[in-house]
Amino acid sequence: MNFDRRTGWSVAAGVTVIAIIAVYIREWRHGDARSEVATTGAPARIPEKASAKSREDPLASPRSLRQVGLPVELTRKVIPQDNPQTPEKIALGQKLFFDGRLSADGTVSCATCHDPALAFTDGRTASIGIHGRAGQRNAPTILNALYSDAQFWDGRAKTLEEQAGFPITNPVEMGQPTLDAAVAAIAGIEEYKQAFQTVFGRPVNGANLVRALAAYERTLVSFDSPFDHFIAGNKNAIDDSAKRGWELFNTKARCNLCHAQSELARDVTNFTDFDYHNIGIGIVRHKVVPLAREAQQKLATGNLNDIDRAAIETEMSVLGRFLITKKTPDTGAFKTPNLRNVLVTAPYFHDGSQATLWDVMDHYNKGAGLQNPWLDEDIQPLALSESEIDDVVAFLASLTSAEYKELGDHELKRQRALSQTNRPQRDTKRAFGPKIPRPEPPR
Ligand code: HEC
Ligand code: HEC
């Protein structure tokens, strides 16, 4: 299996054999490739610290390219020419991803916050790095991150290569003074010396370290959900509630205005416009103006390491995309996330402020419900009934890939139980009321 999968990845780098992959996909639908990726039992939301052991978890393996719904052509296109996929590079990247020795005190790896058993998230509101230090933001999944044209909630990194350097040197994440310090920490290890020599033909260096990490991340493609089987023609792959939810998503609930590549055609692949919007999360109006002023001063040079620290460590984090562009309309705007596997990546939003998908729906249903001068014009009360909310949640749950089915079943039960006792965001009066005019931005 492993051989097969890796062969898949090395050919993906070339153009010629895409046709073969397409044939595989057709074959796969009749085969048993589903068993290729094992599922785990349902763990608690917050696991033990990720250990080297999770590298052996089948969920940590490069994924098969033979998945229903996987966009073959796009997957090939997003592999950069200057960092082609090779089996050896991917294996090296996987090793590095799970290696705590890249952090300043040897305890925190990428997998600490992006745990394969939790769909490459950490289940926390905001992530915790070395010395138990908490950041400001919720860890997004790495699954399907290869398709994004910018990384992080505010898009401050353009590529996965560029992204990988930031957590290594962020003081509350992996805490290294420089990327070279992380290089020094592993450069003497025989296993790495040999692997870097084989893959890149030279000793360990920072540029190649992040290349290997990115190559591994580009194998984390996750499709093959009930929804994909539905779109592929199996009308019974999702239930009637999820079908109604998919209709609502594209109509009355207005989700497609942002969670689709275009408003003109239904997006069945990534569920995002790859753009930034203020949808009213974590915006506390009286703080924003002084924070924006502070950001203008402290981040004037546009130094990305300073921006990274502001985003992860300071209250300026709430400014979102503004930290990068310094444009007023970007105040509190964040990247529209891909919705695949969203059921198993709770809690939600850039600050992890919402516990369940019902809370997310209540937020949208009332049109954010905040006096927020930067709120996206497309956010408005939706007048969704309780059963319509359940339908949209059922649709979102149908985006859970086969390898997370058990975790998803467990999570849906957990969230449903929570939502039955607690709906902190529900505001029916607002949801069925008029759109509230947006206040003028303060000066
Ligand atoms: C201490 C926890 C922590 C560690 C360690 C960590 N991350 Fe993250 N990661 C996060 C958080 C939190 C974010 C979101 C931060 C933001 O958007 O400002 C993130 C964002 C990302 C993203 C962007 C995903 C997206 O959809 O925008 C990628 C890719 C990523 N991390 C990969 C890595 C890699 C590779 C490593 C190891 C070199 C790593 N992370 C280490 C917490 C962590
Ligand atoms: C105006 C654009 C816009 C619309 C309309 C919109 N979203 Fe979003 N969505 C976003 C953005 C931007 C975020 C991230 C916001 C943040 O974290 O501050 C987001 C976040 C989410 C999340 C959290 C994902 C995660 O990983 O934390 C879910 C779930 C979600 N949206 C579902 C929906 C659904 C369902 C609808 C329709 C009812 C909808 N969205 C409508 C832009 C939009």
Residue nearest to atom 32 of ligand 1 (CA): 164
Residue nearest to atom 6 of ligand 2 (CA): 255
8 Å CB contact between 237 and 229: yes
Extract the tokens encoding 1.
Answer: 């299996």
Distance (Å, whole) CA 92 – CA 100 = 14
- pLDDT tens string for the chain (443 positions)? 343 455 456 655 544 334 333 333 333 333 222 222 223 333 345 444 445 568 889 999 999 999 999 999 999 999 999 999 999 999 999 999 999 999 999 999 999 999 999 999 999 999 999 999 999 999 999 999 999 999 999 999 999 999 999 999 999 999 999 999 999 999 999 999 999 999 999 999 999 999 999 999 999 999 999 999 999 999 999 999 999 999 999 999 999 999 999 988 999 999 999 999 999 998 776 789 999 999 999 999 999 999 999 999 999 999 999 999 999 999 999 999 999 999 999 999 999 999 999 999 999 999 987 888 999 999 999 999 999 999 999 999 999 999 999 999 999 999 999 999 999 999 999 999 998 888 888 77
Distance 113 CA to ligand 1 centre (A): 7
β 276-277/334-335 pair status: antiparallel
Reduce the DSSP state of residue 223 to 3 states and report it. Answer: coil
Distance (Å, whole) CA 150 – CA 138 = 17
Distance 78 CA to ligand 2 centre (A): 24
Distance (Å, whole) CA 338 – CA 271 = 5
Extract the tokens encoding 194.
Answer: 């040999």
- Top mutation candidate among 131, 152, 213 for ligand 1, by most atoms within 8 Å of CB: 152
Ligand 2 pocket member 128 (CB < 6 A): no
Residue for token pair 């609930």: 253
The DSSP secondary-structure symbol of 26 reads H
Distance 367 CA to ligand 1 centre (A): 29
Nearest-atom index, ligand 2, CA of 346: 27
Extract the tokens encoding 11.
Answer: 């050919």
Helix (H) or strand (E) holding 427: none
Phi, psi of 101 (to 5 degrees): -65, -10
Distance (Å, whole) CA 29 – CA 32 = 8
* Closest to 117 in 3D by CA, of 24, 228, 211, 40: 40
DSSP per-residue letters across 88-144: HHHHHHHHHHT-GGGSTTS---HHHHSBGGGTTB-SSSS-B-GGG-B-SSPPPP-TT
